[in-house]
Structure formats: C-alpha cells, structure tokens
C-alpha cells in the first residue's frame, strides 16, 4: 500500500456521479458532510431513526452563505 491511498466513502455525487470524500463528521449530532471529488458539491447527511445515513441537502458553500442572510 502506498501512502497516497485516500479513503473514499460510499456515495456518488448527485450532479456528476463522481465518488465522494469525507469533509467533516460529527458523531455526537449524527451528521456528516461529504464533498464531490470532481465538481466540489457538498452533500449533507444526517442519521435517520434506523442509524442509516440519509441525504438532506446538496449545495455549494457560496450557496449556503447567500441563504443564511
């Protein structure tokens, strides 16, 4: 194994179909954010009642800043 191996998690981008890479995870709140390796979209997941990850929202960071005002 080379030191350049990066762990990718299951999931594909809803826009381009590329694999997603983990950006941030919070086990206490049951949330994770994954980023597309090609187009850079952020995919927001939340744990459901059964403990599976459910996609909540897909957005770019600039889109989130516009909506917060």
Q: Which residue has the tokens 């459910």?
A: 54
The 10s digit of each residue's pLDDT in 15-59 is 888 888 888 888 899 999 999 888 888 999 999 989 899 999 998
The structural domains of the chain, with segments of one domain joined by +, span: 10-62
Output the six-digit token pair for 13: 């981008």
C-alpha to C-alpha distances, 6 to 2, 9, 21, 37, 63, nearest whole angstrom: 10, 10, 9, 11, 28
Per-position b or e across 14-26, b if 16+ CB within 10 A of its CB: eeeebebeeeeee
| pTM of the predicted structure, to 2 decimals | 0.73
């Amino acid at each position: 194994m080379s030191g350049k191996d990066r762990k990718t998690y299951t999931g594909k981008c809803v826009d381009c179909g590329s694999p997603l890479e983990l950006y941030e995870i919070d086990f206490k709140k049951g949330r994770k954010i994954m980023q597309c390796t090609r187009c850079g979209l952020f995919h927001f997941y939340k744990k459901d009642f059964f403990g599976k990850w459910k996609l909540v929202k897909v957005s770019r960071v600039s889109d989130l800043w516009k909506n917060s005002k």
